[in-house]
Amino acid sequence: MKPHSTTSAPINPTQNLFEPMWTIADSALYLGISPKTVEKLRNAGTFPAAIVIGRSVRFVPTDVRTWALALREPVAA
């Protein structure tokens, strides 16, 4: 298994720091993809950095939303 990215975006002072973190399943549900796809993206190092507590993997929702918006295709002219 590849090592995961340990870098993350700096905390946005306007971010709701009390928003619950998302599991792999929560992130997949939000994105409309399977949890297996989230795991594959994470293992490839292309998904936002996770917070790992014991065996629990969690994501900051703002990181997942920002990452998804960055994947937007450019509008054709």
In this predicted model, what pLDDT tens digit does every residue of 56-71 receive, in sequence order? 999 999 999 999 999 9
Domain boundaries, the chain: 24-70
Handedness of CA 61, 63, 68, 72 (dihedral sign): positive
> What's the whole-model pTM score?
0.75
Upper half-sphere CA count for residue 50 (Cβ side, 13 Å) = 23
For residue 53, pLDDT beyond 60: yes
Hey, which residues does 36 pair with through a beta bridge?
Answer: none
For residue 32, pLDDT beyond 60: yes
